[in-house]
Structure 1
Amino acid sequence: MDSQLGPGPRRILVTGGSGLIGKAIEHVVIKEGDKVDGEEWIFLSSKDANLLDVVQTRAVFEKHRPTHVIHLAAKVGGLYLHMRDNLYFLRDNLRINDNVLQMAHELGVTKVVSCLSSCIFPDKTSYPIDETMIHNGPPHDSNFCYSHAKRMIDVQNRAYFQQYGRRYTAVILANVFGPHDNFNIENGHVLSALINKTYKAKKEGTALNVWGSGNPQRQFTYSLDIGRLILWALREYDEIDPIILSVGEQDEVTIKEAVEMIVESLDFKGEILFDTSMSDGQMKKTASNAKLRRYVPDFVFTPLKEAIQRTCEWFVENYDSART
């Protein structure tokens, strides 16, 4: 992959470097060797700096003096945690994002690629959703604060470009999962929480209790695929406007179908129950990856069944150290 990062040495700072996407990027860069000569990679975790604190954010940027930033750090959680703590997701993410983008500007960072979620899109909309529709209406009530905080990154990127000519952009992700995810049953994202729940039900010989009807549809994307695409965005994608990084509409599955793949991967033989007293959240949020396909028509995503199998294997092998 040819690089358009510019001449000279490049120090690439990854915030949220110990999380799901950060670990995927690290895997692609270190283990798969997708590294351009002259690149130095710094993966930050919350132990290195509290990005809610502007003083700590400035200190870590001054320490490493990055030329490029991949901004992944965020306060995140599953559906039910968002519903309970909406305000905190708004305030914390606004502060994190403002601190990172402003420090990047003040220290002359050439390019920032921030990470958005597909939940930023309007709740009442037509499908498939594309990048032009982000601000066309309010997001779903279940996580409206997190969604608005993430939308503001797009607004800030445009403002930094208008005011200072900064080339800061964002990628939009949909239901990413894989090794190093948060597998916590209450606070993790749906697929990884279900992997943990299925594993525990198998160990304990109990039924698998799935929250909700199983009918919502989602596009699940493997984290290592996203790692590769974020590197492409850093090196090649030159727009300020965001871009959706996701499997296509044809790859959308129901939660029930995903559960069946997890059950098969973990060889779970017990009963599966769907608890319809629990909220389903949005029934669908189908995103178009047509813009991505115009840029990288030949990119091959890992098939969902294979990606679930790999993630289940990683979870079982790393159960004692995984985030559960």
Structure 2
Amino acid sequence: MIVVTGASGVLGTALVAALSSSGEEVVGLTSADGDLRDAAAATAVFERLRPSVVFHTAGRVHGIMGNQKYPAEMFLDNIRININVIDAARRLDCRKVVGISTVAAYPAGLRLPIGEDEIWNGMPHGSEEFYAHAKRAMLAQLQSCHRQYGMDYAYAIMTNLYGPNDRFDIENGHVIPSLVAKFHAASREKTAVNVWGTGVARRDFLHADDAARALLTIGKAHSGLFNIASGTTVPIGRVVEILSEVSGVADVEWDRTKPDGQLDRSYDVTRIAQLGFEVHHTLETGLAETYEWYASRYPDVRL
């Protein structure tokens, strides 16, 4: 049996669907199944299911504003969840854990594109540093369990994901879900869209369905660290242009008093490409699909 934690999130829902479509026996865990911050609750869930493989996508996630407002919670909640999930899996003889990390775990100021072996070569960017440290600690835990107990692992370093079932939090969310919610609100209320920064910062965006396909490949037979990314960066301004076209909202106001974050992030995708991974969603089609999904379900969406 395969268990996916965080199964109600943008990646978790895509991954459960992909695993089910491939014929795997899969159970998706959400917060309704227990609070993974609590060691006893995590142990109880894993004792009941006794999975052979765990895809650990659960965690507390915010964008730049959320990371700045809640640094302690971002660190502590994610540390607790990671420790409890991985330790429960290890104690119950789980064969493999695939830990889902983030490109925020990489040090700031590295030469681009960033390869997997760079992860310990400096401090992460200050805009997300405590979340990043929690994700780095997860890698250390996986590596220690492999060394002492022989538990197999993979550590998937995710770029900026987007898609249906995301958390569309305007104030504290990641850039794409936040912008989707902003453009939809502006469309409803006939107002302008306020966007942080200048729009010049470049990011690598990947649809959750594409990320899920990459994880299936890793989960089957591969170990170690893998960048999961499209291999292409676009400026935030281009995302704004696409959502403006999709939503019909042309009035955009840039708040240049707000931070851009790191100005460029690109990642070496050689390892995952060598396993045959290719991106299926273009940014244009993926954003249109995500906006339409959100608009068709509003207000019954995750915030």
1:218 to 183, 186, 203: 203
Hey, which bits of structure 1, 4+ residues long, moved more than 4 A?
none
Residue in 2 aligned with 1:285? 265
Residue in 1 aligned with 2:164? 179
Say whether 1:151 aligns with 2:128.
no
Q: How does 1:237-316 map to 2 (within 5 A)?
A: 237=222, 239=223, 241-248=224-231, 251-268=232-249, 270-296=250-276, 299-316=278-295
Distance 2:213 2:112 in 1: 26
Distance 2:72 2:197 in 1: 24
1:92 positional shift: 1.4
1:281 positional shift: 1.3
2:88 to 92, 95, 103: 103
Say whether 1:229 aligns with 2:214.
yes
1:273 positional shift: 1.0
Distance 1:289 1:195 in 2: 27
Number of equivalences: 303
List alignment gaps of at least 5 residues for structure 1. Answer: 1-10
Deviates more, 1:19-28 or 1:105-114: 19-28
CA contact (8 A) 2:154 2:219 kept: no
Q: CA deviation digits over 1:72-125, x for unaligned, max 9?
A: 111111110101111221111111111111111100000110100000000121
Residue in 1 aligned with 2:124? 139
Q: CA deviation digits over 1:283-309, x for unaligned, max 9?
A: 112111111111215x23311111111
Distance 1:168 1:27 in 2: 22
Q: Identity, % of aligned pairs? A: 34
Residue in 2 aligned with 1:52? 37
CA contact (8 A) 1:12 1:70 kept: yes
CA RMSD of the aligned region, Å?
Answer: 1.2
Q: CA deviation digits over 1:244-283, x for unaligned, max 9?
A: 11101xx210000111011111222x31111001111111
SS in 2 for 1:63: helix
Q: How does 1:47-86 map to 2 (within 5 A)?
A: 47-86=32-71
Distance 1:147 1:29 in 2: 28
1:28 positional shift: 2.2
CA contact (8 A) 1:131 1:243 kept: yes
1:321 to 295, 300, 303: 300
SS in 2 for 1:198: helix
Residue in 2 aligned with 1:195? 180
Distance 2:18 2:179 in 1: 26
1:26 positional shift: 2.3
Distance 1:101 1:29 in 2: 20
TM-score, L = length of structure 2: 0.97
Residue in 2 aligned with 1:93? 78
Say whether 1:12 aligns with 2:2.
yes
1:320 positional shift: 2.3
1:236 positional shift: 2.7
CA contact (8 A) 2:197 2:254 kept: yes
CA contact (8 A) 1:114 1:169 kept: yes
CA contact (8 A) 1:247 1:301 kept: no
TM-score, L = length of structure 1: 0.91
Distance 2:188 2:43 in 1: 47
List alignment gaps of at least 5 residues for structure 2. Answer: none
